């Protein structure tokens, strides 16, 4: 007759070990059947083994369905609903119809999102004229969604350009930013105040500038001019900025205000900054 558990902690530890062993078997099964390398334990990130097991179950279901290779039009997947053309609907009706179609998409494990604001009429047109005609994997797994983003098909370049410029300003002034892995959206060679630097050189200099202040406050960042060339590969940006910084080791605050200038290039559909000038930033 097996010995009873000494205490509840022993029981919980044995359950933990059983779950980990079960997860290792699931990883081996995925590796053998689908060639997936899951040798690095997900639990390294602190993920509980029961959650890791649920995730592996989802992956197994997904890979099993993907292996079947069945494709289907999104319009067919959601049951071929009746709909009117965008031009046939007034603004009030189109908003109601858009809500209906979005509900049908969601009910069939499809999710459509936008990065920036898109008018209801344009979103309805996109769904009925473009998204409905796209193929997707004929997979339905409870809790898993097929996700689509409008801007992947119709990029909002002005929004992306503003985002890259705003991100750079935040990276320069964010004292909580991870200093070991700087996500600077810079090209390999960057011009700052008329001088050329490699991305690595400039990143280090910008960190030195940031470290000379104990804190920053951005009071205003307003974009005044955005010019994109006809080929949509180059952009020039002017913005007005007002920010302040507290000098490290003192209570002295310095105000910076004036024009920012940014030059950007589009590389593999992603806008990158290749030149900039920001008031007060000395490298």
- For 19-39, the pLDDT digits (tens) are 667 767 666 655 655 556 665
- Within 10 A of 53 (CB to CB), how many other CB atoms are there? 17
Q: At residue 64, does pLDDT exceed 60?
A: yes
Measure the CA–CA gap between 185 and 17, rounded to whole angstroms: 44
Q: Where are the domains of the chain?
A: 8-68, 71-152, 157-277
Averaged pLDDT, 238-246: 97
Cβ(156)–Cβ(239) below 8 Å: no
Position 145 scores a pLDDT of 81
Averaged pLDDT, 251-277: 95
Q: Looking at 68-82, 120-134, 251-265, which range is the least confident one?
A: 68-82
Averaged pLDDT, 250-277: 95
Measure the CA–CA gap between 124 and 101, rounded to whole angstroms: 8
Q: Specify whether domain 157-277 bears CATH 3.10.450.50.
A: yes
Position 28 scores a pLDDT of 65
Averaged pLDDT, 262-274: 94
Position 102 scores a pLDDT of 97
Q: In the chain, which ranges are continuous DSSP H helix? A: 8-34, 49-68, 74-77, 91-107, 120-129, 157-173, 199-211
Cβ(74)–Cβ(42) below 8 Å: no
Give residue-wise pLDDT tens across range 105-148. Answer: 999 989 999 999 999 999 999 999 999 999 988 877 676 788 99
Give residue-wise pLDDT tens across range 153-208. Answer: 999 999 999 999 999 999 999 887 655 555 678 999 999 988 999 999 999 999 99
Position 79 scores a pLDDT of 95
Measure the CA–CA gap between 276 and 190, rounded to whole angstroms: 8
Measure the CA–CA gap between 256 and 279, rounded to whole angstroms: 6
Q: List phi, psi (to 5°) of 202.
A: -65, -40
Position 55 scores a pLDDT of 72
Averaged pLDDT, 83-97: 96
Averaged pLDDT, 52-74: 70
H helix count then E strand count, the chain: 7, 10
Averaged pLDDT, 67-84: 88
């Amino acid at each position: 007759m097996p010995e009873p558990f000494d205490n509840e902690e022993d029981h919980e530890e044995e359950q933990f070990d059983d779950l980990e062993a079960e997860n290792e078997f699931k990883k081996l099964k995925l590796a053998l059947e689908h060639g997936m390398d899951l040798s690095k334990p997900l639990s390294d990130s602190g993920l509980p083994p029961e959650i890791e097991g649920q995730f592996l179950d989802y992956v197994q279901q997904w890979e099993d369905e993907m292996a079947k290779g069945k494709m289907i039009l999104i319009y067919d997947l959601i049951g071929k609903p009746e709909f009117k053309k965008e031009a046939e609907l007034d603004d009030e009706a189109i908003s109601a119809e858009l809500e209906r179609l979005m509900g049908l998409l969601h009910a069939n494990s499809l999710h459509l999102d936008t990065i920036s604001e898109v008018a209801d009429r344009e979103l309805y047109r996109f769904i009925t004229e473009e998204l409905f005609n796209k193929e997707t994997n004929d997979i339905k797994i409870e809790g898993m969604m097929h996700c689509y983003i409008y801007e992947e098909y119709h990029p909002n370049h002005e929004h992306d350009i503003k985002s890259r410029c705003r991100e750079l300003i935040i990276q320069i002034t964010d004292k909580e930013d991870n200093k070991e892995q700087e996500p600077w959206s810079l090209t390999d060679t960057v011009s700052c105040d008329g001088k050329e630097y490699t991305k690595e050189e400039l990143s280090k200099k910008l960190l030195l500038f940031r470290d000379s202040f104990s804190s920053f406050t951005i009071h205003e960042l307003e974009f005044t001019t955005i010019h994109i060339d006809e080929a949509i590969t180059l952009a020039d940006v002017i913005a007005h900025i007002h920010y302040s910084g507290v000098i490290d080791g003192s209570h002295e605050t310095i105000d910076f205000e004036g024009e920012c200038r940014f030059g950007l290039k589009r590389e593999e559909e992603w806008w990158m900054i290749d030149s900039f000038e920001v008031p007060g930033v000395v490298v």
